[in-house]
Amino acid sequence: MAKSSYAVTIAGGGSTFTPGIALMLLKEHDRFPVDKVIFYDNDAERQEIVAKACEIYFKENAPELDFSYTTDPEEAFTGIDFVLAHIRVGKYAMRELDEKIPLKYGCVGQETCGAGGIAYGMRSIGGVIEILDYMEKYSPDAWMLNYSNPAAIVAEACRVLRPNSKIINICDMPIDLMDKMAVMCGLNDHRDLQYSYYGLNHYGWFTKIFDKQGNDLMPQIKEHMAKNGYLDGISHEEGQEQHIDESWVHTFGKAKDVYAIDPETIPNTYLKYYTFPDYVVETSNPDYTRANEVMDGREKKVFGACRKVIETGTAEGAGFEADAHATYIVDLACALAENTGERFLLIVPNDGAVSNFDETAMVEVPCIVGSNGYEKICQGKVPQWQKGMLEQQVSVEKLVVQAWVEGSYQKLWQALSLSATIPSAKVAKQILDDLIEANKDYWPELK
């Protein structure tokens, strides 16, 4: 697939992350030459604010770039090489309900975990499949790089509904955690590390961390984790606002307690929602959740900056910056296009990668990526503690997808009842009935 230049569609053109990703594509032009960028969204009004501002930026900084934006699928997906997908069906208004409805019943209210993640998953499946179908219809040789949440449920839905499609599901959280581990060890970032990892998305463990010379960094990292969780890995020069809001500081610190459960491995931060749900609920404000934090923070900031660019007619001084954190997307696209054979953590069918776990599970494991796709690196057997947790969580995710496909109230009730974040089937049913009412415009009808 190696070409002199590439055409890219960003699905979710109205996202607050879109300007940073578009600017990052420009910044990485030398190693991943993109000559055509299309924004696609089904919300024309929201996308127009972001797209018009980016259009002004591109005219000033990259006039040679062929840029357009559209709500028409044929325009958006014809003649492209990659789709970068970060969609949020229902936007932040629905995220707020995902978080607040479970909290009303004393349960974890979180974007991708527990009842909130299940609700979000039920909205996301149709949207991701729709974009994948558009891509395959209009550009059958293209790759879709999907980092839309909740990635675990979306990936399982793709396995069931589109098993042969050219889609790769990837998440930035392990990359962010590896960046923090690199800082702990005096290194630059995740590219300086070699690693072993297994789990589901937002539900996994690092088992080995080496530097490029093969030195074992686990003892050093464990020392930091036992004292302060991931807090020692926060660089003071870091500008990743989505990961240093107050709620994230709590999460990085709480990893110390999650680590203590199994000090042989380094946990993903999201495991706190399943291992300490009581703590999470106690420290949550049911009237002001993470969704409110984002709407009052990043969303206002990004859309304010975009409106200012449009009003003044220039992007100078607007504070537009490339999202350095998103360079992993270009790394992955380069690996596919240029056959680099680089290692990535991807969400892929297990098929023996974790040998004592469900073969059909969509596991998050290291893979070698080249122009023909990926090859998994086997992680062997997982210990009993992790196996028990994984069996429970993968069953939740599979039941959610089955509920969506079959329109089954029963299976969605089972999924919620099985979640480690919900104490009983009674509470699960109460939450489910509220979520059905809230999501009547987005979920399939359940019977």
Contacts 24+ apart (CB under 8 A), 308-317: 309/52, 309/53, 309/56, 309/57, 310/49, 310/52, 310/53, 310/56, 313/56, 314/56, 314/60, 315/53, 315/56, 315/57, 315/60, 315/61, 316/60
Residue 124: its H or E element: helix 114-138
Instruction: Give the residue numbers of the binding site for Mn(2+).
Output: 171, 202
**What is each CA distance from 167 to 129, 204, 372, 402, in whole angstroms?**
10, 21, 12, 20
In the sheet where 193-200 sits, what is the strand order? 193-200, 203-211, 266-267
From first CA to last CA, the distance across the chain in angstroms is 45
Q: Which of 41, 81, 98, 172 is catalytic?
A: 172
Mark residue 195 as left, alpha or beta (left: phi above 0; alpha: psi -120 to 50; beta: remaining): beta
Residue among 62, 57, 66 nearest 314 (CA): 57
- Are residues 304 and 327 in contact, defined by beta-carbon separation less than 8 angstroms? no
Q: What is the signed CA dihedral for 296, 299, 304, 309, rounded to 10 degrees?
A: 170
Q: Which phi and psi angles does 165 have, rounded to 5°?
A: -80, 155
Place of tokens 């931060």: 269
Among 198, 270, 273, 374, which one carries the catalytic annotation?
A: 270
* Selection from 415, 401, 399 nearest residue 443 by Cα: 401
The question of whether 172 is a catalytic residue gets the answer yes
Dihedral sign for Cα atoms in the order 340, 9, 316, 234: negative
The residue written with tokens 């578009």 in the block is: 22
Annotated binding site: 95, 149, 171, 202, 290
Q: Which residues contact 185 (CB under 8 A, 6 or more apart)?
A: 211, 217, 220, 221
- Residue ranges of the alpha helices (H) in 229-289? 246-261, 272-275, 277-282
Buried-state track 143-169, b at ≥16 Cβ within 10 A, e below 16 = bbbbbbbbbbbbbbbbbbbbeebbbbb
Nearest to 93 by CA among 312, 321, 295: 295
Is 363 in a helix, a strand, or coil? Answer: strand
Of 291, 332, 245, whose CA–CA distance to 103 is shortest? Answer: 291
The residues annotated with a catalytic role in the active site are 172, 270
